Chain A
Amino acid sequence: MSLDYLILGGFVVIGFVFYVATVTASNLLSPTAPSREKGVTYECGSRPIGPPWVQFRVGYYVYALLFVVFDIETVFLYPWAVTFNRFGLFILVEMVLFMAILVLGLLYAWKEGALTWR
């Protein structure tokens, strides 16, 4: 089992090494001819106006918040699902109660219009 986790570590390290090696190899093989025009970011041929790092609509943050809530719920649900067969009916009742609270939250967000993309 510990070898399995060593392999996972190997994936991260060798993956990064492979990425750096491929990009370096490509840089060595390819021609380099920098020019001022090439360094301009592409915006359909016209020169970019204003800074690229603009303020962003708040709608994304509402979704991100909701996502965090439900992702944490999923984290709780996984061990629950694995041990589901080992306990009696109470494990189901327990999760129904837990989920009901979250679904109430989802309904509230729904009613407030947070789920509608504008």
Chain B
Amino acid sequence: MSPLLIVVLRVLAAIGLMLANGVVLIYMLRKVLGHLHVRLGPMHMGPKGVLQTTMDVLKLLTKEDVTPTNVDKVLFFIAPALVFVPALMAYAAIPFSETWRITDLDTGLLYSFAALSVIPIGLLMAGWASANKWSLLGGMRAAGQQIAYEVPLLLSVLPVVMVVGSLNMSDIVAAQSGLWFVIPQLPAFVIFAIAGLVELNQTPFDMSEAESELVAGFASEYSAMKFGLLFLSEFSNSFIMSAIGVTVFFGGWMIPFVPAEVMQPVAPVIFMTKVYIGIFFMMWIRGTFPRVRIDQLMQLGWKWLIPASLAWIMITGLVIKVWQLGPGAS
């Protein structure tokens, strides 16, 4: 196959996966939240409402795309792309199995975080371009909270990188054939889980689009497919965050005590199952906790999570060095 064809096919595969994830996740969210609220959720389109989100996508596709008269037209058009494209790019480094992955980057973990960190710029741009005070507030909040929690998020995976000595996602999975990192690195996982949830802008950390305060935040003025792609990116990001968490802390596509050769044929299925279990927990949290206040959120990030993650890096470093110079030295 010519290289160009490989490139196009792999990107299209990522787009297909992203769209499928969006449709499945929105249906799943509405069903899970429905049952948490002791109601049924969507029931009418298809058996148990499974076609509901497909219909919603078709509806969004045929809705009028309204651009208000006083918005900044260029930025208003570019902003959803700046949210959508990085969310798509984050799929590039996820290892679904030993052979099923879009790229095998040596800097895969850093690359994934780098792709996700472009998104606040898109949100801020969407909020600013909309020429709407609610949108501007929502965009500023989104950017403020995402940059505050990006630092603990990036720091929380560093102890794992120190143990493995590589940023390659496949290497990180391979290093967990004996023991998942969630056990020795539990504090790192707790920091990762909190910071990851805040990065996703979901309830209980959804101050940027709090319906009762800011209409729909940065997305207030968007309609039709621009709105659709903004929200598709948001749902897809919860998949990406869960996938990074599964890769770094829960052994990726592996199960303990089962040899890798046996796992090989079903590895992508196991990986996807783990990712969806992670997403289910996010939805559970979303349906259970009330929204936190923005000042509490900022304090938690700067005063607790950043010092805690720095301290945990130092503790891990010390343990590794003591082990190398002591009993591990040979």
Establish whether residues A19 and B229, one from each chain, have CB atoms under 8 Å apart when the complex forms: yes
Establish whether residues A10 and B162, one from each chain, have CB atoms under 8 Å apart when the complex forms: no
A8-B103, A30-B64, A84-B320 known; A43-B147 Cβ under 8 A: no
A19-B80, A42-B221 known; A116-B295 Cβ under 8 A: yes
Q: Is the interface of A mostly helix, strand, loop or mixed?
A: helix
The answer to whether B177 has its CB under 8 Å from any CB of chain A is no
Establish whether residues A77 and B155, one from each chain, have CB atoms under 8 Å apart when the complex forms: yes
**Chain B contacts of A1 at CB under 8 A?**
106
Q: Which residue of A has the minimal Cβ distance to B215?
A: A42
Within 2-27 of A, Cβ neighbours of B (below 8 Å) are at: 3-4, 6-12, 14-16, 18-20, 22-23, 25-27
- A100 shortest CB reach to chain B, Å: 10
A11-B85, A82-B167 known; A117-B64 Cβ under 8 A: no
Interchain CB contact (< 8 A) of B166 among A6, A39, A56, A82: A82
Q: Which residue of B has the minimal Cβ distance to A22?
A: B225
Establish whether residues B307 and A10, one from each chain, have CB atoms under 8 Å apart when the complex forms: no
User: Count of chain A residues with Cβ under 8 Å from any Cβ of B?
Assistant: 68
Establish whether residues A52 and B131, one from each chain, have CB atoms under 8 Å apart when the complex forms: yes
Q: Which residue of A has the minimal Cβ distance to B151?
A: A70
Interchain CB contact (< 8 A) of A14 among B12, B64, B226, B306: B12
Establish whether residues A7 and B65, one from each chain, have CB atoms under 8 Å apart when the complex forms: no
Establish whether residues B220 and A96, one from each chain, have CB atoms under 8 Å apart when the complex forms: no
Establish whether residues A33 and B89, one from each chain, have CB atoms under 8 Å apart when the complex forms: no
Establish whether residues A18 and B225, one from each chain, have CB atoms under 8 Å apart when the complex forms: no
The answer to whether A108 has its CB under 8 Å from any CB of chain B is no
A26-B63, A52-B132 known; A63-B298 Cβ under 8 A: yes
Interchain CB contact (< 8 A) of A23 among B88, B131, B225, B321: B225
